[in-house]
Each structure stands twice: as C-alpha cells, then as structure tokens.
Homo-oligomer: A and B are copies of this chain.
Amino acid sequence: MPPPPPPFSSSSLLTRIASSTPLASLFSTSRLFSSPPPSPTSSPAMDRAAADDSLRKALAERQAAVDAQGNAVRALKAGKAPKPEIEAAIAELNRLKIDKAGVEKQLQAAVSGAAAGEGALTREAFRRLVANTLERRLFYIPSFKIYGGVAGLYDYGPPGCEVKSNVLAFWRQHFVREEEMLEVDCSCVTLETVLKASGHVDKFTDLMVKDEKTGTCYRADHLLKDFCNEKLQKDLSISAEKAAELKHVLATLDDLSADELGAKIKEYGITAPETKNPLSDPYPFNLMFQTSIGPSGLLPGYMRPETAQGIFVNFKDLYYYNGNKLPFAAAQIGLAFRNEISPRQGLLRVREFTLAEIEHFVDPEDKSHAKFSQVADLEFFMFPREQQMSGQAATKTRLGEAVSKGTVNNETLGFFIGRVYLFLTCLGIDKDRLRFRQHLANEMAHYAADCWDAEIECSYGWIECVGIADRSAYDLRAHTEKSGVALVAHEKFAEPREVEKLVIAPNKKELGLAFKGNQKMVIESLEVMGEEEALQLKAALESKGEAEFLVCTMGKSVIMKDNMVKISKQKIKEHQRVFTPSVIEPSFGIGRIIYCLFEHSFYTRPSKAGDEQLNVFRFPPLVAPIKCTVFPLIQKQEYESVAQLISRSLTLAGVSNKIDITGNTIGKRYARTDELGVPFAITVDSQVDVTIRERDSKDQVRVSVGEAASVVKELIDGHRTWSDIWSSFPHHASASAEEDE
C-alpha cells in the first residue's frame, strides 16, 4: 500500500502562527513597560480563557437584569404608578446599567488584550510604538518603499542589518562551532525534481479564496480567523456557547479541509473584506515562487521554500566528509522564499526570509547524545501535548526529567531543545515569554517521531520561532527513492553477525507461464511482502499447495501455486548493517526571532524633565547593532581628537562604534543611542579621563583615555560585567545632571 501523501518539511510550519491558543496570553502591560531587569510572571492562558467565559456569562446576566428592570419601569409607567415609585425603579435601572457597563468594559479589555487600569497600552498600541521606533531608526524599511512597497518584503536598514549579522554570528558560534557541525551553503534556485521528491510541489499550498468580482485573493483561513476574532472581540452580546464555538473554530483552523473551510465561510456569510462581494470556494495555491532555469523554458525551478533539502541531497558527500561516521550534523544559514497569498503581521510573515537549519543525522537505534548531561538541569516552560489537550498551562520543567519520563522522545531531541533555550535567552529573549510546545498528534507529520516548537510570546500572541523535529528517516528515503542514489549509513560489525533473513525467491519461469504480461507486477508484489504476510503465504502454500495472493498494482488477487515462489528463512553472515539515518531538525526563523527580540528588548522611561517617554532597546552587547558611541561633551577640537582616537581603537578591536560630534545636548545624544540599543557610551570631557555610561542603569564611571577602549572591549566580550567595572572605577557624580543638560 502506498504511504499517505508526504506532508512537507515541518520547518514549513515556521510561517504559521501556532493556532491552538490564538487568544491565549492577553498582554499584561506592566511587563511590556517594566524597567530592566524585567521580572514578569507567567500568566497561564487557560486562566484567562476561563475569566473571559465567566465575564461573558456575567454580562449576559447583567443584560437580562437591565432588560427585566426596563420592563418593570415601563409597566409602572403604563400602570400610572406613583412618581416616587417610578423614580426609584429608574434609579435601580440606572444602577443596573452602570453595573452592566462595568462588566462590559472588563470583557472588552480582556478580549482586546489590554489590562484594566490607567495608562495601560493595548498590545496593538505597544506594537505600533515598537514598529514606529524600528522604522524611524531604520531597523527595517519596507522594500521598494519609493515605489509603494510590496506586502511581505522588507529590507534591513543599518542597525537591523547589524542585529541580524550579530544573531547569525552567534548562531554559528553556538551551534556550528560548538557542536562541530558541517556548514554548507546551497543554491536557492532549485530543480523541480528535488521539490517533487520532498513533497513541496504537490503539498506546499495554502487555501485561497477569490473575490468573485475583482479577483483579489485572500487566504481562506485568515478570513475565517478574522471573522471569529472580530466577533469575539467586538460583539459582546454573543452567548458563551457561541463564543466557545468560535474559539473551537480558531483552535482547529489548521485542520480544516478546503470543503470544511468553504462550508464555514458560507455558514457565517463571510464576504470579501473590502468590497463585500461573494467569495469563491477555497482552492489550493502553491506557495513557492516559480521560475524557469535556462533559456529553453523547459526546465522548471523554484526558489527554495526552506534550506533543508540542500543538506539532504548532499547527505552522501557529507557523510563521507565526516569519515562515514554517525552522528553528525550539517547546518545551513540561508534565504528561503514563500509566495504568501496575502502577507500580514509585518516582519513575522514575509515572502523572503533567512532560515538557519540544522540536520542532525543519527542512528535510529541510538538517539542518545553524549553531551545531554550539559543541558539536563535546565528548567524552562514546557507545554507537552497532554497538558494542551487537558487544558492545563505550560509548566516549568527540568529538561532531564522531560526526557527521562519520555515526554520528549529522545536525548538528542532534548539536547537541541536545551541548546535552543540557551541560544534564545542569551540573545535577550525573556525566558518567561518563551515556551516549548509539543506538536499535537494532528499537527505532526505521520513519519515524525516527535516535534517541539520554541514559541515566543509577543504582541501578536505566541509565535513559532524555532521548530525542533525528529523527522525519522523520511527525507533521506524520499530522495533515495527519487534519485536512485542510496542515502544510507553503514555500521561495520567488529565481527560478522549471523542473522536469520527472510528470502523470497520467485520462480520467474512458472510465474511467466501463469501470468504472462502481469508477471512483473506479481513478482514486485511478492518481493515487497512483509515478514508476517510472507510466512502466512509460505504456510498456506505448504499446506494447500496454492493460495490467494493480492497484487495491489493489478487491483485483484491471483492464485499462487507452490512451484511459483520459494519462501524460506536463511541464516546468513552480515558484516555490516546498512540503514537510513534518522534526522533531527532544529529550524530557526531568524527574522521572527529578531522581531520578538525587538519587542522583548523595548521599554520606555520618562525623560529627566518628565515631559516625554524615551524609547530604549535593552539589547545585550552580543546583539546590539552598535556596541559603543563616543561623544565629545562639547564641540571642542581637543575633545574631538580624543574621541577619534578612542573610536579608532574600538574599530581596530573589532568593536562597532559611532562618533557623534553634533552639537546636540548630551541628553539628546544619549536618548538617540538608547533608542538604537547601544549599551555603552563614552563621553569625552577632558584629555585625561572620560566617562563610560551604561545604557539601562544610566550609571557612569571615570576611566582614563588610554583604558577606555579596552574596558569597553572587555564588557562587550563578556570578560567583565558592568558591576565589575562599577566596583573598580570611580563613579561619575554629575551623571544624571548631564542627561538633560
């Protein structure tokens, strides 16, 4: 029987927002605006959902009370009741209305993600504030902006480009160097055959609907999602039951077939958002950018939708390069392209993005990992399948325990989960807004052994940023089959082993006589029999001399006689074991990680005068686009020369830095660099000593001109911490005074 159609690589899920908890985790603004160090507490999604439910019920009760009292007032008026009685009833009605309005407000706040309370920002407002800062300071720019731009394409401007290259350099150090991976760099333009084998040509699709009059295209699930969300957020009058139904639709959105999606769209009367025209039925659209290789137009190609396939097709050479030894990992950083139907969510869903992927090849019979003990004691939020199904929240779990209990399938998968946790938190991702969520059975490919997503919470909800999947032997087998090149590993035995093997020997002559032109199909069916089936056939042939035998490719059974096939178990000596390695694949959406990093690093603090809020990115030095700024305190040639000298030393030491010799006040200059996330600033106010200021504490120390660059270098490299420096050098007293000079 042919296997079910192959789903595409799990990394393709990277562009999908985890949809199982779409309304989970309403924002607590106190967390967004806390000053460093942040100490947010985890807020379990399920608690909030329950609160939401009870608010809806309370609101319905209040509404009923208002209605009842309204009727009572009308009855009193109709019955010409005494005026004081009517007035008292009206007063009670007003009280009930106020009461209802209060509950309404609470529910409104809950569904729109804002915490109740003064000065609270909704998550949308927070997102706008961050986006505004990012665009204004050129962290990113919509591509081809002067031509109106295109949805889903963004350029990284200078600070964004620096952040990206810092993140990638750290990725290379943390994974490739530390784990001695084989890094490769493969073509983006990809032969159709490769993506046929991987399943992308046939299966890498999203369901699309068209405005039947204008032809504008939409993602079918997006329209349904928007409808449900809007209904839940804006229409407070819907019953708790209706709300539950809509939430169920949201939770199962990814599982809906084209027909089911179409039916829901019809049921809810959803129309095209701009025109309100009717919509077509949903149909699949392949998300790969197609092109043609060479001038003939006969060789179709695609821009790769992931980097993994480049590694799989090179497995044989890489295995050889590694001395024909397992386990080993290959890694690749590179662009991937997905022609999204209608990209939204800014930097999170784009048509061109950088992936960093690891394919760790391992013997399927031994998935232990030599270095697992190094990460076993890490503790972080894990969200296993069972907890999701039973409505519990993610809990802090010791990784070693999750593996030993079997929650995480094997040590190698566990090892990578631990390394991913370290990677993300070193970059500055808030560990309390990071969780590892296990795929539900319906999310996972049929061949996958286990799959965990590193999800990061940001203003868009919980975002899948890294997928870590045990994909078993699926990919290598698919390319072995299609290319005819065996992508396998060998284990040489120290001594030959005697093994019992089933041998199926068709008698071609007899089969030819009996089945003529169908002979080949019969032989194939015989050869692919499983052990159990073969032994049953053997028994039947031995006892009855003939047996019915199903030939799938002919679609019917034939009569097999005992002279047509010899089935036996033989002992043979094997010198090696040949097998297809399993692959464990951590796949990083670099752009998504960076975007979440932007949100987690952003905070505001009042200016000294208190008249405005200043923006700060609390990037760690590792990530900061510029590590240090150098300012002459005032415009003076001597100070400028010293500043140039220090800047030059920093550059030679490989520390990216920027001189600011504008005549702006020092406070303005600090504010400007805080907004770029520059961790340290050197201010030159003498030719002997200078001050070094730390961004988040705003503390300043006095350091000699000669030492300044090397002190900053040590801070940047992590050889000394700010508190080391703070305790080693004289403090600068006039620090805060200068900020708003």
Binding site for B on A (CB under 8 A): 138, 141, 143-147, 150-151, 153-158, 160-162, 164-165, 172-173, 177-178, 180, 182-191, 193-194, 208, 215-217, 285, 289-296, 299, 301, 303, 310, 313-314, 316-318, 321, 323, 335, 337, 339-342, 351-352, 479, 482-483, 485, 487, 651, 654, 656, 658, 662
**A160 closest partner in B (C-beta):** B185
From the candidates B164, B184, B190, B193, name the one contacting A185 in the complex (CB within 8 A): B164
**A309 closest partner in B (C-beta):** B144
- Are B188 and A145 touching (Cβ within 8 A)? no
- A-B CB contact pairs (8 Å), 29 listed: A141-B314, A141-B317, A144-B191, A146-B479, A146-B485, A146-B487, A147-B483, A151-B294, A153-B189, A157-B314, A157-B321, A158-B182, A158-B318, A160-B185, A173-B654, A177-B656, A189-B337, A189-B351, A208-B295, A215-B296, A217-B294, A217-B295, A289-B293, A290-B291, A290-B292, A291-B339, A292-B339, A294-B340, A303-B303
The docked-state distance in angstroms from the alpha carbon of A189 to that of B150 is 10
A186/B143 contact (C-beta < 8 A), A191-B150, A314-B155, A662-B323 known = yes
Min CB–CB distance A673 → chain B (angstroms)? 14
B residues less than 8 Å from A188 (CB atoms)? 188, 335, 337, 352
**A314 closest partner in B (C-beta):** B141
Q: Contacts A144-B313, A146-B316 given; 8 further ones with Cβ under 8 A? A: A144-B187, A146-B487, A147-B194, A150-B293, A155-B185, A157-B321, A189-B351, A289-B292
Min CB–CB distance A417 → chain B (angstroms)? 22
B residues less than 8 Å from A150 (CB atoms)? 191, 293-294, 299, 301
Min CB–CB distance A150 → chain B (angstroms)? 6
- Are A293 and B323 touching (Cβ within 8 A)? no
Min CB–CB distance A201 → chain B (angstroms)? 14
A317/B656 contact (C-beta < 8 A), A153-B187, A217-B296, A291-B303 known = no
- Are B352 and A310 touching (Cβ within 8 A)? no
Which secondary structure dominates chain A's binding surface? mixed
- Are B173 and A185 touching (Cβ within 8 A)? no
B residues less than 8 Å from A194 (CB atoms)? 144, 147
From the candidates B172, B289, B293, B317, name the one contacting A157 in the complex (CB within 8 A): B317
The docked-state distance in angstroms from the alpha carbon of A162 to that of B337 is 24
B residues less than 8 Å from A483 (CB atoms)? 146-147
A193/B290 contact (C-beta < 8 A), A158-B321, A187-B352, A188-B335 known = no
Min CB–CB distance A127 → chain B (angstroms)? 21
The docked-state distance in angstroms from the alpha carbon of A301 to that of B292 is 13
The docked-state distance in angstroms from the alpha carbon of A487 to that of B146 is 10
B residues less than 8 Å from A160 (CB atoms)? 185
The docked-state distance in angstroms from the alpha carbon of A150 to that of B310 is 14
**A648 closest partner in B (C-beta):** B178
**A487 closest partner in B (C-beta):** B146
Question: Chain copies in the assembly?
Answer: 2
B residues less than 8 Å from A186 (CB atoms)? 143, 155-156
Min CB–CB distance A543 → chain B (angstroms)? 46
- Are A161 and B177 touching (Cβ within 8 A)? no
- Are B187 and A296 touching (Cβ within 8 A)? no
Min CB–CB distance A197 → chain B (angstroms)? 8
Which 7 A-B pairs give the minimum distances between C-beta atoms? A156-B185, A155-B186, A146-B483, A146-B485, A143-B187, A158-B182, A217-B295
- Are B289 and A291 touching (Cβ within 8 A)? yes
The docked-state distance in angstroms from the alpha carbon of A183 to that of B155 is 11
The docked-state distance in angstroms from the alpha carbon of A316 to that of B316 is 49
From the candidates B165, B321, B651, name the one contacting A178 in the complex (CB within 8 A): B651
The docked-state distance in angstroms from the alpha carbon of A153 to that of B339 is 22
B residues less than 8 Å from A173 (CB atoms)? 654
- Are A184 and B162 touching (Cβ within 8 A)? no
**A658 closest partner in B (C-beta):** B180
The docked-state distance in angstroms from the alpha carbon of A161 to that of B147 is 36
Min CB–CB distance A137 → chain B (angstroms)? 8
- Are B651 and A310 touching (Cβ within 8 A)? no
The docked-state distance in angstroms from the alpha carbon of A151 to that of B301 is 13
Min CB–CB distance A215 → chain B (angstroms)? 7
The docked-state distance in angstroms from the alpha carbon of A483 to that of B148 is 9
**A656 closest partner in B (C-beta):** B177
**A483 closest partner in B (C-beta):** B146
- Are B352 and A189 touching (Cβ within 8 A)? yes
Min CB–CB distance A358 → chain B (angstroms)? 14
B residues less than 8 Å from A485 (CB atoms)? 146
A154/B217 contact (C-beta < 8 A), A145-B314, A483-B147 known = no
- Are B285 and A295 touching (Cβ within 8 A)? yes
The docked-state distance in angstroms from the alpha carbon of A172 to that of B651 is 12
Min CB–CB distance A654 → chain B (angstroms)? 7
- Are A313 and B157 touching (Cβ within 8 A)? no
Min CB–CB distance A456 → chain B (angstroms)? 22
Min CB–CB distance A204 → chain B (angstroms)? 13
The docked-state distance in angstroms from the alpha carbon of A180 to that of B626 is 11
From the candidates B190, B318, B654, name the one contacting A144 in the complex (CB within 8 A): B190
Min CB–CB distance A149 → chain B (angstroms)? 9
The docked-state distance in angstroms from the alpha carbon of A208 to that of B295 is 9
The docked-state distance in angstroms from the alpha carbon of A190 to that of B153 is 9
Min CB–CB distance A139 → chain B (angstroms)? 11
A146/B313 contact (C-beta < 8 A), A291-B290, A291-B291, A341-B294 known = yes
B residues less than 8 Å from A156 (CB atoms)? 184-186
The docked-state distance in angstroms from the alpha carbon of A651 to that of B172 is 12
Min CB–CB distance A525 → chain B (angstroms)? 28
The docked-state distance in angstroms from the alpha carbon of A218 to that of B156 is 38
B residues less than 8 Å from A662 (CB atoms)? 323
- Are B217 and A339 touching (Cβ within 8 A)? no
The docked-state distance in angstroms from the alpha carbon of A374 to that of B165 is 29
- Are B177 and A155 touching (Cβ within 8 A)? no
The docked-state distance in angstroms from the alpha carbon of A486 to that of B165 is 31
Min CB–CB distance A153 → chain B (angstroms)? 4
Residue from A191, A294, A295 with most neighbouring chain B CB atoms (10 Å)? A295
From the candidates B155, B158, B189, B339, name the one contacting A294 in the complex (CB within 8 A): B339
B residues less than 8 Å from A654 (CB atoms)? 173, 177
Min CB–CB distance A196 → chain B (angstroms)? 10
Min CB–CB distance A685 → chain B (angstroms)? 22
- Are A184 and B208 touching (Cβ within 8 A)? no
The docked-state distance in angstroms from the alpha carbon of A643 to that of B135 is 49
Min CB–CB distance A361 → chain B (angstroms)? 14
